[in-house]
Copies of this chain bind each other. A is one copy, B any other.
Amino acid sequence: MLRGTDMMGCITDFFTYETTKSVVVKSWTIGVINRVVQLLIITYFIGWVFLHEKAYQVRDTAIESSVMTKVKGFGVYNGRVMDVADYVTPTQGASVFCIITKLITTENQVQGFCPEVFLVQSKEMRGSSRSSPHVPGVMTGKCVSFNSTLNTCEIRGWCPTCLSPCVCVCPSPMMEVENFTIFIKNSIRFPLFNFTKGNFLPTITSSYIKKCNFDPVNNTYCPIFRVGDVIRFAHQNFSTLAHKGGVIGIKIGWVCDLDKSEDSCNPSYSFTRLDAVSEKNNVSPGYNFRYAKYYMMENGTEYRTLLKAYAIRFDVLVNGNAGKFNMIPTLINMVAAFTSVGVGTVLCDIILLNFLKGAEQYKAKKFEEIASSVSHGNGFGRSSCSQLAVKQDEMRSTDSGAFSIGQEL
């Protein structure tokens, strides 16, 4: 029988409920402070955490995106009409592409020996066959006459040579680029919700697409962008960019609340200059690169046209996130909100026990002192230190709030 009773006792002991014993202070001052603090905390949770930060939603930030671009427009440059196959590189129409605005061309280069055009450092370098990054080829060490008055170093490489700052020809940029249009097709997907959308909104018709140009007031969803507009929206000057080259970012942001209708999940476009440092620093301004077109003569000799291209590079950057109602974050944040309301007591306790009239009496009620049974008899002495912390100074009273365990033993 005893064993059964014991076990029963264990079980009944287990199924008890333990809650804190509370002290209720009926004071207008602290009551109002308490409620105001609680109101602030609730306001913070409802206003900021739930309404603004949408803490009741799960959020998918792993946006999948695909960007296709197509540039349109014709320019005249060096007496030639340039079309998209001539001035856009890479040609694949991906999210990063360059529109060439200026070309410095050196035609009919063949492998051979020729005099170097630069005269800088000619004296020091003569006799050295080490290649230098500032000389357009490998130096042979010979000295040859460039023209009747000038001797220079002979180099081996693609001849004739031409390097910037170019003595050959420095043309002006192709100003028609300003009127070129960039067509951007962007599809996104939020894999968590299997939600797919594109920047071609259902409201866009074939005829609208043919005419529209993006502007942030009237045509916020037109996926066709005038180059000049994009550069203006990024607070840049087209002429400077066309001369020196640069990198412009076209950012597409998708911030979607999937609890609302699908129509309210729309792209927002913004524009910025990405190589902002090129503006500030004069050491290496702008953006340019070299490439070559290779040809072959009938006799099998390869020759090439070397091109130094100044270009405006466009980076289409897509970012975004989507949220949708979900039980788990809602519950967790509601519990967090409820328990946080209790945090106000820390502040109120400090006020109650230190700054309010009758603080000593509140302390006496809130704190119940137990002297250590070990140090019983000569336990703790009296202290006269007044500290701000939430601590009880000693008190002797007959109420149950303060007595020594010693009396019980």
Contact = CB atoms under 8 A, between A and B. Distances in A.
A403 B400 CA distance: 10
A397 B373 CA distance: 17
B405 A397 contact: no
A24 to B, nearest CB: 5
A302 to B, nearest CB: 8
A333 interface: no
Interface string A384-400: 11010011110001011
A289 B70 contact: yes
Contact of A349 (B19, B26, B362, B384): B19
A85 B198 CA distance: 33
Contact of A27 (B186, B283, B372): B372
A148 interface: no
A28 interface: yes
Interface stretch (A88-96, A167-175, A236-244, A256-264): A88-96
Contacts of A368: 21-24, 365
B275 A68 contact: yes
Interface residues of A, number: 162
A5 B408 contact: no
A24 B185 contact: no
A231 interface: no
A83 B81 CA distance: 29
Nearest to A176: B131
B366 A66 contact: no
Number of copies: 3
B365 A370 contact: yes
B399 A408 contact: yes
A89 B374 CA distance: 82
A401 B399 CA distance: 10
A358 interface: yes
Given A83-B158, A96-B94, A349-B19, A24 B369 contact: yes
Interface in A313-339: 313, 315, 317, 319, 328, 335, 338-339
A282 to B, nearest CB: 8
Interface string A191-218: 1000011111010111001000000000
Contact of A278 (B10, B187, B349): B187
Contacts of A380: 9, 12-13, 16, 26
A403 B399 contact: yes
A197 B277 contact: yes
A295 to B, nearest CB: 4
B157 A81 contact: yes
Given A361-B370, A383-B13, A66 B315 contact: yes
A401 B247 CA distance: 75
Interface in A331-365: 335, 338-340, 343, 345-346, 348-349, 352, 357-358, 361-362, 364-365
